[in-house]
Chains A and B, each alone.
Chain A
Amino acid sequence: EAGVTQFPSHSVIEKGQTVTLRCDPISGHDNLYWYRRVMGKEIKFLLHFVKESKQDESGMPNNRFLAERTGGTYSTLKVQPAELEDSGVYFCASSQGSGRIDNEQFFGPGTRLTVL
């Protein structure tokens, strides 16, 4: 069974540019999460999709971040325009179930974003 995949693995862009990250969850997983880890700090929640709907986007830093999950399959996270503080590793995770988070979340390998 294929795991969660993310593309690209690394992205280096200049401040002010746009970057789009993609996540393909495990097939059949309704829940899709985006997280970000800045070096040495916690894995911080960004948002949660249930199928194609945004269940919770309270962790999104600001309106420069836009996440979509059209058709309830893969998801994209766009940062426009990127700022220096957006640098970090962006993880995607998917899981089964609904409501409570009492099932394993399967993480992707992450996209390392560097904004220069």
Chain B
Amino acid sequence: QQPVQSPQAVILREGEDAVINCSSSKALYSVHWYRQKHGEAPVFLMILLKGGEQKGHEKISASFNEKKQQSSLYLTASQLSYSGTYFCGTECLMDSSYKLIFGSGTRLLVRP
């Protein structure tokens, strides 16, 4: 039920690109992306809805393949501030209610 995120961790040099993938075995209504810095609250990045609508961060892009039940988050020209743990949350209908099920996170470290 829990979406699978890959990679589990990645280290980049400033300016490099990264892709974080999120894959679910269940039909998805939307995919949410959050970033958490150590000891802080997870911060909203983006929501991707069925049908192609997106809400969120202007400088971060993501894709949502509804058929494959997958989403990818694209971090380009990474900055030091991008470091943190990235979580995808998949909106699923379970037990007659909509739930946001999170993955285990992808730890990203951007070095100078």
Contact = CB atoms under 8 A, between A and B. Distances in A.
Interface in A87-113: 91, 99-110
Interface residues of A, number: 28
Contacts of B97: 48, 55-56, 58
A43 B55 contact: no
Contact of B102 (A44, A56, A106): A44
Given A59-B99, A91-B42, 5 more contacts: A56-B95, A99-B98, A101-B29, A102-B30, A106-B44
A45 B99 contact: yes
A40 interface: yes
Contacts of B78: none
Interface in B26-65: 29-30, 32, 34, 39-44, 47, 49, 55-56
A4 B101 contact: no
A46 B27 CA distance: 21
A104 B44 contact: yes
Given A56-B97, A58-B95, A102 B102 contact: no
Nearest to A45: B99
Q: Is the interface of A mostly helix, strand, loop or mixed?
A: loop
Interface of A: 3-4, 33, 35, 40-45, 48, 55-56, 58-59, 91, 99-110
Nearest to A6: B41
Contacts of A40: 104
A101 B100 contact: yes
Contacts of B41: 3-4, 91, 107-110
Given A48-B97, A100-B29, A102-B49, A43 B43 contact: no
A42 B2 contact: yes
24 contacts: A41-B104, A42-B102, A42-B103, A42-B104, A42-B105, A45-B102, A48-B99, A56-B97, A56-B99, A58-B97, A58-B99, A91-B41, A99-B98, A100-B30, A101-B29, A101-B32, A101-B100, A102-B30, A102-B49, A104-B44, A107-B42, A107-B43, A109-B39, A109-B41
